[in-house]
Amino acid sequence: MHTLNTHKRLLALTVATALSAPAAFAAENVWESIEVTAQKRNENISDVGIAITAFSGEQLEALGLESSTELIAFTPGVSLAGDIGGQRAIFNIRGVVQNDYADLAEAPVAVYVDGGYLASTQAQTFGLFDVARIEILKGPQGTLFGRNATGGLVNTITAKPTAETEGYGEFTAARFDQYRFEGAISGEITEGVYGRFSGFTNQQGEILENIYEDGAAPDTRLGSVGGGEDGYNDDTKAFRAQLLFDIGDEGSLLLSGNWSDTTKSEGPYQVVNTTEVKDAQGNVIDVIFAADDPLGCDTIQAGVCVDGNFNGDPLRPVQGGDFNGNFDPDGSGNKVNKDFAFDDQNKIESKGLAATLDYAFEDFDFFAMSDYKEFTRTVGLDSDQTASPELIFQSDSTIEQFSQEFRFSGETAALKWVGGIYYLSVSTDYSQGLAGSPTTFFLGGEENNTLVSLETDSYSLFGQVDYSLTDDLVLVGGLRYTREDKAFVGNVYQNENTNDRIIEIDTSTASLEVMDEQNDQSLWSAKLQLEYSVGDSLYYAGINRGVKAGSFNAPLFGGFSFYEPEELTSYEAGLKHSFMQGSGVFNANVFYYDYNDYQSFSWVNNAGVVTNEEASFSGIELEVFLTPTDSLDVMLNFSYTDAVVEDLEVASGYFADTTPPFTPEYQASAMVRYNWDAFEGNMAAQLSANYQSETFHNARNFTAHEIDSYATADARLTWNDSNDKWSLAAYVDNLFDSDHELIGFDVSGFYGTSQISYAKPRTYGLTVRRNF
């Protein structure tokens, strides 16, 4: 069919945006309707029958968002999960999350960048630079996007090469010695060939001050050699290069490459002392804060104190302390006291190549994409988060993936259709383990590592049609079949630990456990929906079937097993309404999720496994965007989520209905932005705030697993010159310096502690940008 090629479509969109936007020296709104590709075609966001929140590159710049996970504050029904003290963050959409930290696990919220799927959960946390648009789609999206999108997906589209020469440079200086530079240059190289090069670097000094002294009381054992360094920093570099070739008047070929490298400190957790409560048979039935136990028990079993660390004493050295008498120096403040702490411990590298072909034939459009990605990660973590030389968590992984998609699409007066085939190969080599210092009570001088190889091959056939029953009523139907083959090889080795900072696995020794198994699956997703348009409103209601592939558990110390695919039937209805002559938008939707074999991740004492459970979720989400004048933008959103995992075995023989981790019942956010002409340009003052009710960091929902509710606020003041060349921004994030908890891991049975990470302290900075 006759359509513009990709390059010409981008030019047309750029020109249309420029014509519709007010002049730079006049008051201008941030919230404007944008084009999205949620259904594998360009559509206005108001015409898409999906619960979707989208941000253009201009909006991201105006809001001052620098990381993929910062979008959460402005998106109802989306919250944050993760590990490594927040160094890895995972999107939780409507309670759909699997907080399995192992790199062989894939999240139920799919993340795409420029059409390429990110199999590694580590890759989901990335800096935003030179971005054209980000779309957050809620609810199952498996028909068009594949088998691991039961919760939804986050789709990032980067800026593409342009015909006109353009570019920018942006520099930020902020608290904690943060210096960030971002820039891009784009234009025509020769006739019909266009290029774009963009990159960024971020340097941030240490936030956490480590007061560790080797051999100091209360635990005088010597710690990790050279440890005790300050932490919570960042050293990231990334670039992206693109070449776009016109193929006649009807097609284009885009070649792209990307690379990023990050070095960070040991995970920025802090310690909170906690106590296991057991029944007479030794089953852990609750975890409480050690400060709430007046007796100072190591462990409470059947109401009495029992020895928890095998030193012969049922009491802790100090009431409220851990097994060794340690306390966090200042609670949730910025001081820590831990031995295994290095400012360059954790390293992450990613690189990728992609080729994308678009061509418009007489009767249909053709799309092909070949995508290769590689991720490597090395992580070390002080497992007890104290000055005591106990166990060190360590993991190392390399993930290589290749995908190939061929897609066809077209339309007639009454029908829009899209179909295609998709192949994905993921090769994962992963190890994780615990290393003990020579003086630790457990694994003294040795390390135990789980070594895994997982090969995944996934083949899909998919299609979706939108058929106009009348001028106002559209029937949408879609189907996807996936064949997925997984081959797993797992071993467990234990050998001498000679260097705390290096993972040492002696494969010449006998494996303590071996598993060599296949987990092959046939999966299908489907969609059936009605969409009714009347006046300035779109109503939609539908049923979706989503599926997440089954996989394998490879916990610390072994215990290999596999779990079944997760199946979700989603019932959803929604409304998108424009009012005030287009100056207001109201979006609302309600949903009910019925799960079969929901994949629930439970963490118990340095190890976690995924089990299949039954679950049901329901909720409502509301969004309001107002631009009553050219000077004023207002955003309000709210979500309510009732998520229940049914009869989860929280301890042997104990079953309870629980809330999935990191799933708040209530969320709300607001943003007010006022702009006015000043100083031969335009100024804008912006205030935003968000609230999240209490959550749990563990699927078992014990007392000390609860994360309290919190509210935060950010402020921003910007100025743009009349020629849209220079801009200045001053900002304060976490305006009231909230120290709320973000992520936690319970290791009470090992050390009498839990690992907790807190919100980044109040940060203020200045950004200067020059466009050309």
Q: Which DSSP string do the residues of 166-217 spell out, in sequence order?
A: EEEEEEEEETTTEEEEEEEEEEEEETTEEEEEEEEEEEE---BEE---TT-T
Percentage of residues in the chain with pLDDT exceeding 90?
77
pLDDT at position 719 is: 96
**What pLDDT is stored for residue 24 in this prediction?**
37
Torsion of Cα atoms, 492 then 498 then 499 then 503, to 10°: -20
Q: What is the dihedral of CA 125, 129, 133, 139, to 10 degrees?
A: 0
What CA–CA distance (Å, rounded) separates 145 from 189? 34
Q: What is the mean pLDDT of residues 270-280?
A: 97
Return the percentage of the chain with pLDDT > 70, whole number.
95
- The ranges assigned to domains in the chain are 6-771
d(CA 546, CA 96): 12
How far apart CA 531 and CA 466 sit, in angstroms, is 10
Per-residue pLDDT for 9 more than 70? no
User: For position 6, what pLDDT does the model report?
Assistant: 39
Q: What is the pLDDT of residues 304-329, one digit of tens each?
A: 999 999 899 999 999 999 999 999 99
The confidence score (pLDDT) of residue 18 equals 31
Rounded Cα–Cα distance for residues 584 and 634 (Å): 9
Per DSSP, the three-state class of 291 is: helix
Quote the CA–CA distance of 143 and 544 in Å, as a whole number.
9
pLDDT in tens, 579-605: 998 899 999 999 999 999 999 988 776
Give the per-residue pLDDT at 27. 59
652-700 tens-digit pLDDT = 899 999 999 999 999 999 999 999 999 999 999 999 999 999 999 999 9
Most distant CA pair in the chain, distance: 82
| Residue 149: half-sphere exposure toward Cβ, Cα within 13 Å | 28
Indicate whether 5 pLDDT > 50: no
pLDDT recorded at residue 12:
35
pLDDT in tens, 397-439: 999 999 999 999 999 999 999 999 999 999 999 999 999 988 8
pLDDT score of 67 more than 90: no
pLDDT in tens, 369-385: 999 999 999 999 999 99
What CATH code would you report for 6-771?
A: 2.40.170.20
Mean pLDDT estimate for the chain: 91
Q: How confident is the model at residue 645 (pLDDT cuts 50, 70, 90)?
A: very high
- Lowest average pLDDT, out of 99-103, 256-260, 444-448, goes to 99-103
Strand-strand pairing, 299-301 and 741-747: unpaired
Residue 337 pLDDT: 97
Residue of 571, 567, 565 whose CA lies nearest to 540:
571
